[in-house]
Structure 1
């Protein structure tokens, strides 16, 4: 089985059609029970692309950190978030799209073409674009965005772990690990938990019934 390695082919095809500022867009953090959802938009310099870009999940933490530095040094980058409150109000899909929209809007250079990870177009993103399923493993621009978004969100969760110890956010990043679920039962729900997510909602429901 051939390993898929992201390349510049999607970007090159867009450039052949006359586009010049091509942004890869990706998000991270749909699955966690706590913390924001984070997105990044990255416009790479075609003449100076960092080596070793790949889906952030396929890279070691050390390699991601090295690439974080290289991406920020060589590319146009914007990171954006949607809050826990927005996730609970809108739903996680819409909130993740909102984070993507904010990341694109916040670029210091306005992209004239977007490569979006996934198969859905956020409603606030218009103009020339395309969606790419598993884009973080196929397009170097989306790979760069996935790396930046993951590191940015992981750092937020490490900071929150200092404020709310016991949930293991410094290692599980808010995902529903066994230890995180156990801490939810034993320590309760924090302001950074997503109340619309079933495991959190169920605990709140149980607490309400006990208090009644």
Structure 2
């Protein structure tokens, strides 16, 4: 059940979410979405609770019906330089800055918010509770998952299409066997450990 968040004077609420904090490789991807109250979208929820087919369908519906949306990212290099938390915050700022309409309120999934220069609130389990954040989580997840599928075609030995870069047993075994390439986050413990061997 999605809650309706109402704030005084907040007419343009942007929802923000990220995907890809936990994986060992690839960018962290964020999205910001301002929904159109006159075009409600059915079926929005946490992207992880949806089937891939449903996410793909909603991905297009959100892009067509939202007042504004933006997908942004922080690169593997930025993650290694800043750490994953700061890189995620930077990517969130980029997503909000990239919106074609400036929101007057921002709701962020989780318990930390970067500074957007706009009134902001963190919402724990926001991707389940706030339609705008659900929409952002779907855009970010579909974008990142598609990238992992593309990388899988280039580097099939890692199985990226299957685990999407998360540290599964198979994935860790594949990295041990085939080594660390430029997609990997060298600051992450399992990768750091392999580089020291």
Give the corresponding residue for 2:111.
119
**Is the CA contact (8 Å cut-off) linking 1:6 and 1:136 kept in structure 2?**
no
| CA distance in 2: counterparts of 1:49 and 1:115, whole angstroms | 18
Asked whether 1:172 is paired with 2:168, we answer no
**Is the CA contact (8 Å cut-off) linking 1:115 and 1:142 kept in structure 2?**
yes
Asked whether 1:52 is paired with 2:43, we answer yes
- Aligned Cα RMSD in Å? 0.8
Deviations 1:121-144 (A, max 9, x none): 11x422211110110010010000
Asked whether 1:90 is paired with 2:82, we answer yes
SS at 1:46 equivalent: coil
Task: Please identify runs of 4+ aligned residues in structure 1 that moved more than 4 A.
Answer: none
Give the corresponding residue for 2:2.
6
Give the corresponding residue for 2:151.
160
| CA distance in 1: counterparts of 2:154 and 2:181, whole angstroms | 10
Residue of structure 1 aligned with 2:186, choices 182, 188, 195: 195
Q: Which runs of 5+ in 2 are unaligned?
A: none
Give the corresponding residue for 1:210.
none
SS at 2:108 equivalent: strand
Query: Which protein shows a greater Rg?
Result: 1
| CA distance in 2: counterparts of 1:96 and 1:173, whole angstroms | 18
Asked whether 1:107 is paired with 2:103, we answer no
**Displacement after TM superposition at 1:111 (Å):** 0.9
> Could you tell me the TM-score, scaled by structure 1's length?
0.90
**Is the CA contact (8 Å cut-off) linking 1:6 and 1:143 kept in structure 2?**
no
Q: Which runs of 5+ in 1 are unaligned?
A: 207-212
SS at 1:199 equivalent: helix
**Displacement after TM superposition at 1:6 (Å):** 2.0
> Could you tell me the TM-score, scaled by structure 2's length?
0.97
